[in-house]
Structure 1
Amino acid sequence: MKIETTKDVSFILDTLNKNNFEAYIVGGCVRDSLLKRQLRDWDITTSALPEEIIKLFDKTIPTGIKHGTVTVVINKENYEVTTYRIDGEYSDNRHPDEVVFTRSLKEDLSRRDFTVNALAYNEVEGLVDMFNGIEDLKNKTIRCVGDPNKRFTEDALRMLRAIRFACQLRFSIEKDTYEAIGSNYHLLKNVSSERIRDELDKILMSPVPSRGIIMLQETKLLDNIIPELNESVGFDQKNPHHDKNVFDHIMAVLDNSIESLPVRLGALLHDIGKPRTFTIDKKGIGHFYGHNIVSAEMSEVILKRLKYDNATIKKVLIIVTEHMSAYNNMKNKTLKKFISRVGVENLDDLFELQIADSKGHKKNADYSPILKRKNDVKKILDNGEPFTVSQLKITGDDLIKLGVKPGKEIGVVLKDLLEKVMEKPELNTKEKLLDIAKNKFR
């Protein structure tokens, strides 16, 4: 079995081999090469010690020398080359207390997380598979190397990684490995929010994201990520417009969402406030008045806890808040206020969430009103019709020259002029706006 490597990678491997060191590409790059997936980077492992690696190459960076990693720079590209190692105890369930270098490839591979990531290759020896990783690749199975309880105790993030790989590769998780996640879920509390967030993002961006969220819920990992979502599991909506409980509806919306992180975060969180807003009327029909507002409030707490950046948080909160907005057959003025409130940069994401939400209600859902709204908005934008004060052909300075006092009064006048222009776009000329303002102050 032959794996094609780049000239740079071959050069690094050959240089190490010619100097009597073992060297292999290892881990994800081998796995993805065998699966014919696009490669992101090349990881190289070697029997050479860090100082020996540094001596062999013209340009190196001691990026993780404590853990045996040296970055070799070839043709302005960076390649991580790591010495075979044995990890010591993991007292914090995150990092080894010590790293011991070894000359044994088997000892190095035996500490890795999953069999499909414990594959090594070079052109001389071919594929090295000491833990039946090829068999698991063929069977589309994620299985821990050795005892899964030990692997997860060493680094609790591996539990999330198992689910992430299963989602990305469309694999299943081997029974003992899956049960070990359920037994060790509480260890995830020792992992940083940033590391958890990065794995969650990859799960959300996988082909069928609901698989990952359902596995997180089944194994109780969700308790340490978004425990609020557990409130929706099995929650009967008691409403004829819904054929699913709240959690299953959220999962359907998630799977119907486009491959955009803000949209998928919005899909995951858009109805998270429903259980907290549930009421039943005299006919026994369930309602969730104001659930979009409560969902946005809860979303802000969740996203900040997971250390998302401010721009992402802002966008998600807007589309969650506005996902119930409906402006069918409304006047352009109302639609313009909607555009101003949402922000042009958030409109497409909002419409995509609304379409996914519609598809998640029932089969053959009619989301044509959303498409019409999207088209009406496009016409307004294409025509350049104003919907914000900044688009007016008049400024505060112009009003001051008319005698308007600087301060709040200018804002009031500009807002009044915008109301008129939103109704009649043809009024948006400096001359006409000045005339309206003059008449107002006569």
Structure 2
Amino acid sequence: MSHKNMEMHIPKDVKIILDCLKNNEYESYIVGGSVRDCIIGTNLPKDYDITTNALPEEIIRLFEKTVPTGIEHGTITVMINGAGYEVTTYRIDGKYLDSRRPECVTFVLNLKEDLARRDFTVNAMAFNEKNGLIDYFGGMEDLKNKTIRAVGEPNKRFQEDALRMLRAIRFAASLDFNIEEKTLEAIKSNSHLILNVSNERIRDEICKMMVCNNTTKALRTLKDTKLLEFILPELQVAVGFNQQNPHHDKDIFEHILAVVEKCPPNLNVRLAGLLHDIAKPNCFTIDKEGIGHFYGHDKKGVIISKQILRRLKFDNQSINKISTLVKEHMNVLSKPTDASVKRLINRVGVDLVPDLFTLQRADALGSRFSEIRLAEIRKMEESAMAILESKVPLSIKDLAINGEDIISEFSLKPGKEIGVMLKFLLDKVLEHPELNNKEKLLAIISYEYKK
């Protein structure tokens, strides 16, 4: 339960808070994930949470600068040297509403009661320099055995807050732990409760899973616990879907996992990997030879990807980037000309081109016979890098004239026709960069306009 001799690194600012509370006759501990990460020792915690028997108004009185970020739940953010630290009064939660949030909280004087309401044993430990490590629920043993176990009765924990089911899976994947049997069974039997959780909270957990150490383990556990069919039903359809194609030795779901695994931990690229073949089940056809095809799955995939990302409340910039990668993932050019690569760069955008090649490489590596495809991607990449270094015009904004020049020169009214002309000029310039000066471009418009 208590490990008095245990030492732990406590940053100077955190120590200031703990010492201030102690000097004013209050108990205080660092608690939760920061204690877990300190014990594991792979990375120092990013955040240090502190728990205390001081009431919120007493915390506000003791510190010079505070922000009442969650005062209704007993949490005050204490500012030390420009950084914020959450300090929370010992509490127990009242009845939960819709498996999401407690109706009310009750402050308690007992640390054990506070730790008993937490999600998993590895997150229910506390530490201060005076008393050492406080571990009422076997967190140290579970850390040693690499186990994620609910504190107390797992069904109760997940019925209180259904997001904990996703957190269990994310912790197991990122720490490479296993979920304890009763805890795992409780996730399976309560998986439908995830529908009570806001899409924003689900999105945040998915994002953390997508960049953790073992994303494929997380995705497999989502499938095995039935959570996948509630949070990503479009992906559930891919499970066990035989592609009946010589280029694929895996079903669609397993291929998607293989692609995600080959992507670096870049959120947009991994999400694009997750969604790149999302429309394949919708586009499946079999030819006379019995070979499966998925014509148009890239274009249909854009529509489905946008629906999923909007449902999960992603921002518009992320949606545009991810759906662009999904749309272009099939565009591996077997004989890339300068003009075709320039058009690709123009469609995708200069900043996103490296991510597209990364996704295409992962897609190739997740399929059979990847060598030819990888060689083609390498050629495209070399061509794209040379084009970008040469600073040749690649988009309408790079043209030597703009819409106002055309309007002025030919006494035209603003309208869609001007945009059509600029696109026409860009197409000429992508093929022949030497045409990109004002006189030549106006002469081309003049010639075409008079026709």
TM range (shorter): over 0.9
- 1:326 pairs with 328, 332, 339, which one? 332
Indicate conservation of the 8 Å contact 1:61/1:71, yes or no: yes
CA, structure 1 residues 428+75, in 2 after alignment: closer, same or farther (shift >3 Å)? Answer: same
Normalised to the residue count of structure 2, the TM-score between the two structures is: 0.94
CA shift, 1:103, in A, is 0.7
- 2:76 pairs with 70, 75, 82, which one? 70
Normalised to the residue count of structure 1, the TM-score between the two structures is: 0.96
CA, structure 1 residues 392+147, in 2 after alignment: closer, same or farther (shift >3 Å)? Answer: same
Indicate conservation of the 8 Å contact 1:87/1:98, yes or no: yes
In structure 2, the partner of 1:384 is 391
In structure 1, the gaps of 5 or more residues are none
Matched, 1:414 2:422: yes
CA shift, 1:83, in A, is 0.8
Between stretches 414-423 and 106-115, larger displacement belongs to 414-423
Q: Quote the sequence identity (%).
A: 55
In structure 2, the gaps of 5 or more residues are 1-5
Between stretches 71-80 and 194-203, larger displacement belongs to 71-80
- 1:428 pairs with 417, 433, 436, which one? 436
In structure 2, the partner of 1:2 is 7
Indicate conservation of the 8 Å contact 2:116/2:151, yes or no: yes
Partner amino acid for 2:219?
A: I
- Kindly provide the CA deviation profile for residues 38-65 of structure 1, in whole angstroms up to 9, marking residues without a partner as x: 3111111111111222222222222212
In structure 2, the partner of 1:32 is 37
Cα distance in 2 between the residues matched to 1:300 and 1:63:
33
What does residue range 160-239 of structure 1 map to in structure 2 within 5 Å?
160-239=166-245
CA shift, 1:97, in A, is 1.6
In structure 1, the partner of 2:23 is 18
CA, structure 1 residues 62+421, in 2 after alignment: closer, same or farther (shift >3 Å)? Answer: closer
CA shift, 1:397, in A, is 3.5
CA, structure 1 residues 294+435, in 2 after alignment: closer, same or farther (shift >3 Å)? Answer: closer
CA shift, 1:379, in A, is 1.4
Partner amino acid for 1:325?
A: N
SS across alignment from 1:70:
strand
- 1:269 pairs with 260, 263, 275, which one? 275
Indicate conservation of the 8 Å contact 1:402/1:438, yes or no: no
CA, structure 1 residues 424+177, in 2 after alignment: closer, same or farther (shift >3 Å)? Answer: same
Partner amino acid for 1:7?
A: K
Between stretches 304-313 and 345-354, larger displacement belongs to 345-354
- 1:152 pairs with 158, 161, 165, which one? 158
SS across alignment from 1:61:
strand
Matched, 1:301 2:307: yes
Partner amino acid for 2:291?
A: I
- 1:95 pairs with 73, 92, 101, which one? 101
CA shift, 1:330, in A, is 3.2
In structure 2, the partner of 1:61 is 67
- Kindly provide the CA deviation profile for residues 47-97 of structure 1, in whole angstroms up to 9, marking residues without a partner as x: 111122222222222221221111222222211111111111113211112
CA shift, 1:297, in A, is 1.2
Between stretches 45-54 and 401-410, larger displacement belongs to 401-410
Which aligned runs of 4 or more in structure 1 are off by greater than 6 angstroms? none
CA shift, 1:158, in A, is 0.5
Q: Give the length in aligned residue pairs.
A: 442
Between stretches 177-186 and 385-394, larger displacement belongs to 385-394
Partner amino acid for 1:195?
A: R
